[in-house]
Every structure is written in structure tokens, then in C-alpha cells.
Structure 1
């Protein structure tokens, strides 16, 4: 169990990170470009093969992956705690003609999801769960994902892990959270991945890959709701 004295620090870090992302998106419009991530390509194939129609993306940012899912024919609910990012997503949806298949919701992943039980077919989260979240918040978020997923629904998420070059670098905030260059990351170990797939879940795959400069070292995790 984590020392309760860490909890106020977690809250302060998360609030600072929300403001940081608002500023980043405002100063660097569409900062990740409009090409979908490789994990989104993989997820779309899985979702289609399972007969999925509705996708919830957590931490959608300015929407490169959410818009890709919409272009693939899925109905998408995209959430993020940055209103600036979601405004860019909405504008891009209009430009690309997929407005009818995309809705956006401003949402902090530390809060319960504003969706009914068993209401979506699949959930996608690219580097959202490894943001500045405590282990307790991560477990609670995955519990909420299980609640809103239909039985047999698929969760695909990616996280930076403890083999990443930035693990242990920068400012340490406890709970395997390190801040480097203004971005705070909760680096996952395998125990955390396995614990998130217990109970309501069947763990299907933990795939190691690299992305971007450094490069960042990540796991792409696929698990299915019982």
C-alpha cells in the first residue's frame, strides 16, 4: 500500500499536467500530426475481427487515432481532459467528414466514466494510463473500463515501461512516476500489467515496441472482458 502522504502530491502533479497539456496543444496545434499511431492500426484490425461497432478512446488528444477509427467505420466516443485538444479533434472531424461518427467528452480519467454499464464494444488508450496517475487511479480507471465494456469487449492500451530510457530520470514523484521535460510518466512494470488483467479480464497479449525519439519503449497490452 502506498504511503498516504503521497496522495496530495499525486493530485498536484495531475493538476499541473492538465494545465501543461492545455498549453502544449494550444501552442502546437495537431502536434502529433494526423497519421494514426501503429497501435491504432493494430487495434482497428482486432476490433473489426471481433465485430466491434463502438469504440471509446481515452486520452484522445487532438484525435489522430479517434478520427482514424471513425474513417474505418467505427462509431467513436473520444475523451480527454484537454478541452483544447478536443476542440482540435472536433474541427478535424468536420474537415474530414466524419462528424456523424465522432463525439467528444471532456473527462479526467481519475473520475468515473460518464457512460452506462456495458455500453461500448471496445476501448483504446494510447499512453493514457501511463500519465501522472497513481497506481490506485490506474486500477480504478481499468475498473471503469470493465464496467462500460460489453462482455467479450476488447481493451487495447499502451504504456511506457520500466525498460524505457527515461525511467529513473528527471524528477521523481514516487509510485514510479518521473517527470522529464515537463511531462510526467508513470512507468509500468510487468506486475502492474498483470494485476490490471486480473478478475474481470483475460490477458491476450503484451507486445513490446518502440516509438518516436530516444526511442520510447512501450508495451501494447490487449485484454478481453469476461
Structure 2
């Protein structure tokens, strides 16, 4: 069976795994924002953005950071448990009026109107258990909901990562470790996803204990 054929079953297993993980480990990533989110604030402010779509928001450390920095945030995730934690945290921090949440799987069309947001941020969301076709479709959806000139900042683990090519393989460069399936990116995929955009930056960095090796990609929709 190919990776493309396995994706629906793998997707369901990953939804259940993440829901269980967020329920069993509330606030598992802590309260401090990720370094890519801190960077994205500067990118979005320079571009004059006011509202941000946060994909794969989880329990909300980055979404809350954007709200604290003055942005209006629409946060999505396929884990209701994670988003419940985000909502409670936003209310506790007095940011409830700047954060809206929606349970959503990015394999489905984004629940937003065309040209309705200024910026999109996704930290390791595109390198979840998504097929190449699903990733291209998602980036097309992001282009649809962004306003002209809008910014998209995302991070992905790449093929130079120590986990690439190890663990349980699901095809299409998806490998699973400890129940977490990751789609590793090569540079050709990054470039293909920037077709029709302005590719501003591909920045290599490391995160975590392994360490995970990632790219932070910034691209802009033409005006």
C-alpha cells in the first residue's frame, strides 16, 4: 500500500493521538512562544498585518503571543482539547476578545472567506502526516484566504533531520516515531510551494533535544 493510500487511516490515527496527548499533557509546550512565532511578529508588523490565522494552534502558546502583541487571531487545530486550553488561557490573560478558535482539519478547505486575513503562521503544521498533494492543496487554501501582499511564515522539519528515513515509514517521506508521524521536506518541495509567491527567506534552525532540524520559510502573496 502506498503512502497516498494510507493517508486517511494515518490521519485518523494522528487525530486521536494528538487529542489524547493534549488531554494527558495540558500545556505540554509551555507558555513561552516559539522562536519562529517571535520572528513572525516582526515580519507581520513590517507588512502592516492586523489579523493572523494560526494553523495547528495546539494549546496556544504562539496564538496567545500574537494576541499579546496586538493582533487579532483566528486559531485552528484538529484537537478540541488543545483549543479548549487555548480558550481558557486567552480568557485568563484578558485576550479572549482577540482570539477565536475553530476545530478544523487542514485536509479540508479552510473555514474562511477569500482574502480575509493579513497573515498566516504554521509552526510544524505542514510537516504533519500530510501527503504531498494535501500540502499543495493546503498552501493553495492559504493563498485563497490571504489578502494580496499577505505574509505566510511556516516551519517544517527537513530531510537533514536525524529522524528522517528512520522509524515506521508511511511512504511519501512520512516517518513515525513514538506515535508522532512527520512529513520531512526537501528543498524542492519548499520551492514548489512558493510557486506564484515571493519566496523571502528559507532559514535553517534547530529546536528541541534531538535536536530537530527545521526550516523557517517566509513567503509573500503578490499584490
The equivalent position to 2:16 in structure 1, one of 1, 14, 19, is 19
Give ranges in structure 2 of 5+ residues lacking alignment.
none
Shift of 1:49: 1.2
1:121-140 matches, within 5 Å, as 121-140=118-137
Q: Say whether residues 1:72 and 2:59 are aligned partners.
A: no
Equivalent-residue separation in structure 1 for 2:30 and 2:2 (angstroms)? 39
Report what 2:203 is aligned to: 207
1:29-178 matches, within 5 Å, as 29-178=26-175
Equivalent-residue separation in structure 2 for 1:63 and 1:23 (angstroms)? 16
The 3 A distance-change label for structure 1 pair 22 and 213 is same
Q: Say whether residues 1:224 and 2:220 are aligned partners.
A: yes
Measured against aligned partners, the alpha-carbon deviations of 1:125-183 in whole angstroms (never above 9, x if no partner) come to 00000000000000000000000000000000000000000001100110000001110
Give ranges in structure 1 of 5+ residues lacking alignment.
none
Equivalent-residue separation in structure 2 for 1:7 and 1:131 (angstroms)? 14
When the two structures are aligned, how many residues end up with a matched partner? 222
**TM (normalized to structure 2)?**
0.98
Equivalent-residue separation in structure 2 for 1:36 and 1:165 (angstroms)? 24
Equivalent-residue separation in structure 2 for 1:7 and 1:44 (angstroms)? 35
The 3 A distance-change label for structure 1 pair 188 and 8 is same
